[in-house]
Amino acid sequence: MTELTELTAVRLVEGYRKGEFSPVEVTRAALERAEAVQPEVNAFVRLTAEDALERARASRERWRRGAPCGLLDGVPVTVKDILLLRGAPTLRGSRTVSAQGRWDEDAPSVARLREHGAVFLGKTTTPEFGWKGVTDSPLTGVTRHPRDPARTAGGSSGGAAAAVALGAGPLALGTDGGGSVRIPASFCGIFALKPTYGRVPLYPASAFGTLAHVGPMTRDAADAALLMDVIGHPDSRDWSALGPAPGSFTEGLSGGVHGLRVAYSPSLGGQVAVRPAVAQAVRRAVERLAELGAYVEETDPDLTEPVDAFHTLWFSGAARVTQHLGPRRRELLDPGLREICAIGARYSALEYLAAVDVRMDLGRRMGRFHDAYDLLVTPTLPITAFEAGTEVPKGSGHRRWTGWTPFTYPFNMTQQPAATVPVGADGDGLPIGMQLVSARHRDDLVLRVAHALYEAGIATPVTSSGS
């Protein structure tokens, strides 16, 4: 029998309905798994075991009566420690945030999960204020890769990715301001979606503004669609949230890829040096897409490197989130964060608005690109997981994390839906991700194509026993 920690959320709900197992059994198994892996991997800020088991027992009774309260009743989920979870401090990886307080409010996505009966296992780790593409912080230390603890899990939703990969809950909520669900998902071999901006409401508003998205991190695309059906609804606290989705993401999974116009950009027109193992795995997956009936053309979007504009927006946001700190408390910050905050504080309003102009033009160019192509496919990252505890791979020559994430952050600037699916591994057994990008508001298409990849065996589902 497959271990309970190996089952998807879709399979868990089916099992509850049939009476094959109960939410209490599943929650206990997930908590035991989390406790077992925590000393080595450090995926959690805290586990909320008592609350989780209480919610699981209530769910068990609802299923016994045949009256579940929602789509995810009894399904374990973790929450990145950037998002508010009622009853638990949200410290955002920082020693500058006090744990004191009432902590009596849920973020919108968490509130929707609570309404649907989900079981909250705990809060997962993040770099300080989610500022970089790996997960370590002065507060919680280093989060490590589920297959090789000497390597990073990626970031900034690294704890969430490691938890899902290791079977500590099939669902996780992450945030993504420059790749922060896709980077760790690619490194850890799971699925993640950065939805169209506003599709999943965010409150409190991020200091990184409209770069920041909330997204699902899951074992496969079907689980992500189910999670999106729960969290992808408006919330009055987010003034920039979109209206209701036009239909169910789960119901939209069927249809396959036949006839879709797919643009394949292996290196953004030669701008990115992609490791051979990554390039080969992604190319094989793209060839399989063509075999499934997609019209594939190797071509590149007009994506002139926008890193300077992104840095202006990103560093300014970091400066804003730490603006209230005096000199003594500022010394508590991650040194790298402190450095970019100092840079961000020096930008003028005109420099910021010039970066906004670059962003708007990039969005226009990608909008025109998707007039011709339904989907853009790239590697998610040009590399696989590197050594833990560093912002950039040693010897890479990169100064900041954006140097090795050129495929991810541009699509935060354009607000497009972008997902990563695992399509193989390198010679060290480290997962490789392929990125799927579509036009704004076509989250359904990204999920549909990703689901087709899993159904065809092109995407490789993670197994916690093999991690």
pLDDT tens digit sequence for 350-370:
999 999 999 999 999 999 999
How confident is the model at residue 43, as a pLDDT?
A: 98
Please list the alpha-helical segments (H only) found in 247-345.
276-291, 307-321, 327-330, 335-344
Under 8 Å between Cβ of 88 and 46: yes
**For 426-439, what is each residue's pLDDT tens digit?**
999 999 999 999 99
Q: Give residue-wise pLDDT tens across range 106-151.
A: 999 999 999 999 999 999 999 999 999 999 999 999 999 999 999 9
Do the beta carbons of residue 155 and residue 183 sit within 8 Å? yes
The pLDDT value given to residue 432: 98
Tokens coding 56: 């699981």
Query: What pLDDT is recorded for position 101?
Result: 87
> Please, which pLDDT band fits residue 466 given cuts at 50, 70 and 90?
very low
Domain that holds residue 92: 4-466
Contacts of 178 (CB under 8 A, 6+ apart): 133, 211, 310, 314, 401, 402, 405, 408, 409, 412
Given the residues 59, 94, 157, 180, select the one marked as catalytic: 180
Indicate if 194 belongs to the active site.
Answer: no
Q: Is 18 marked active-site?
A: no
Residue range 66-91, pLDDT digits in tens: 999 999 999 999 999 999 999 999 99
Q: What is the mean pLDDT of residues 208-231?
A: 97
Say if residues 92 and 128 touch (Cβ distance below 8 Å): yes
Residue 155 has pLDDT above 80, yes or no: yes
List the catalytic residue out of 109, 137, 156, 467.
156
Would the CA dihedral through 199, 203, 209, 215 be positive or negative? negative
**Contact call for residues 224 and 71 (beta carbons, < 8 A):** no
Domain count for the chain, please give it. 1
User: What is the CATH number for 379?
Assistant: 3.90.1300.10
Q: What percent of the chain has pLDDT over 70?
A: 99
Question: Is 80 noted as a catalytic residue in this protein?
Answer: yes
The active-site residue, picked from 22, 80, 137, 316, is 80
CB-neighbour burial class of residue 327 (10 A; exposed 0-12, middle 13-18, buried 19+): exposed
pLDDT for the residue numbered 464: 64
Per-residue pLDDT at 94 exceeds 50: yes
Q: pLDDT for 222-269, tens place per residue?
A: 999 999 999 999 999 999 999 999 999 999 999 999 999 999 999 999
Q: Give the C-alpha separation, 192 to 187, whole Å.
A: 11
Would you state the pLDDT for residue 280?
Answer: 98
Question: How far from each other are the two terminal CA atoms of the chain, in whole angstroms?
Answer: 18
**Which uninterrupted H or E stretch holds 77?**
strand 76-80
- pTM, rounded to two decimals: 0.98
**Residues of the chain above pLDDT 90, percent:** 97
Q: What confidence tier does 2 reach under pLDDT thresholds 50, 70, 90?
A: low
Q: Please determine, for residue 290, whether its predicted confidence score (pLDDT) is greater than 50.
A: yes
Strand partners, 387: 151
pLDDT at 467 over 80: no
